[in-house]
Structure 1
Amino acid sequence: MAAVINLVRHMRCTFEAIREYTPGARWQALFQLRWPAYQQWFLRDGYRARPSYLAGRRALRQHMPELAQLYQQLCELAGGGDLEARFLSQWCPPSYISGCSQAVWLDPYGVEGPLLARNYDYAPSLLEGSWLSTRWLGRQVLAMSDCLWGALDGINEDGLAVSLSFGGRTAVGEGFGIPLVMRYLLETASNTAEAVAILQRLPVHMTYNISLLDKCSHWATVFVAPDRPTEVVSRSAVANHQHGLEWQAHARATLSEEREWMLGQGVRKAERADDVLRTLLRPPLFQTAYGRGYGTLYTAAYHPHTLMAELLWPDMRWPQYCLDVQEGVLNVRFDANHAG
């Protein structure tokens, strides 16, 4: 009888907590490491498909003037090239699509502080994994980096926590890539009301759901899109659609409806913050389709009242305090053979 050998192919993500309060050698090294892959992505539709440097700089100055000087600093650290500057402006970038589930929880007994928690579902090979502690504009920010100065989720010293999920539509328009929008919120807003006001005026290039929570327990879920007005909705748990399923194939593949329902139930029944986190760490919310590009790479928990943040996996937990981040490296392996 022939022997049957099962080969398990693993993918690995490296998560690194990095503290660099002003842009310098650490950020420059991250750029040099990640730029080849980002350059390939940025040019996938051709050099002329992306806006010019001047167009990107003009858009930043118009919509996010507080970031203009920081943008120039980062462009210089990136080598001062035209292509690098166009990429860093994040003005009308190529499309990107992920999974993700996120929720806001308030303690019904008033004992624990509020919680913003999320699962980030994506391809392991495409995650930066840099958990950056910065004071780029003077405000302390701890955020999971994307597009090298954008953010997937994070918290600032004022206790504003933010998170994003893909909104389930293929529409693309003139606007900023959502990671830079998230960075802008963390750098310039101190509470949920201020963040909502920013989202109501900023153009975005694709459809996303954004969860906001501040230390006073004020929260909002905001639907943004390139071709629709911004909406503030009273939905504490969201996955990858807005009012209904508009991209059926994506919703079916990622179990968007099932995940949102399960998370909503978990939030409503939770008596403690850890109850919500346990829900996120179980199927169908914890996804294993790593080989197909939307397995759960990490669960993030943000506690605005205490300024604590955590990254979690089924067998690990990594806490940080926003005002005193401890640098470190954590390697996480995923089984790429999972079909999901």
Structure 2
Amino acid sequence: MKRDYLSILDLSIDETKEVIKLGYEFKRNFRRGLYFENLLRNKTIALIFEKPSLRTIATFQIAITQLGGYALYLEHQSVRMGQREPVKDVVRNLDRWTNGIVSRVYFHSTLIEMAKWTKIPIINALSDLEHPCQALADFLTILEITNFSNDFTLGFIGDGNNVCHSLMLISSYFGNRFIWAGPKGYEPNKEIVNKALEISKKTSAKIEITNDINYAVRNSNFIYTDVWASMGQESEAEERKKIFKNYQLNSEILKFAPKDYKVMHCLPAHRDEEITDEVIESENSIVFEQAENRLHAQKGLLAFLYSK
């Protein structure tokens, strides 16, 4: 039976932990020059991206190749799902030719429709609701530092966006503390928050929503931010700069952070907007470790989905 990965919730807690452990082992072996080329042997996985990408598209292509598969990148202007032809027609063609689809879309509903009409795995490479592959890489990065302990607090500063949603959900899985801080009116999706709170009752995770950046920074070992205007929100960018100006990660606010705090960003960053150049280049920054781990976490995901 095929397994899709549209949301953190599409895998169980134990399965998510297994994917991250697989990613950790792939990383160790990668550094030894071992790639496990037979895992995706004779498999073709299509990549359809409606939005720009550097890290996601590069690391999926590399991961698929290093695991022995073939990554078929389809230009958005050629495919134009839902414009040139219906989504269900596009994916039913690919369903007959390929072994899976990795897709970055404007609307999460597109992924749901893709999954409905296919018998092959659909992987969410970012939608307006979630970015689960980013969260897998981020938790691999954090857990490497904590030696796989969940005794840490992850603070997310800024817009309650897709990355925030996936990080909140995966925090509820792992049982750590998660604090979101941002301006009123830009809180995370209520359904996502409620689901995270529900899961937290079983895992002892702690989910907090506040408008106080000082509180979040003081109490977080890992301090995360993202752009204030995501892809598709460019028309709101100038207005959002005014609304979010007091939520910038800079050296002044980080004076209140715990000792040995780490700064995280999913990239691309708008330097000197949501985070200063000084902070992103500081010794506390682990943003490029996060980017590195996209490759290994996604290998773990692919190995899990295609070994079942």
Q: Same fold judged by TM-score > 0.5? A: no
When you count strand as a share of all residues, which structure comes out higher? 1
What is the TM-score with the length of structure 1 in the denominator? 0.27
When you count helix as a share of all residues, which structure comes out higher? 2
What is the TM-score with the length of structure 2 in the denominator? 0.29
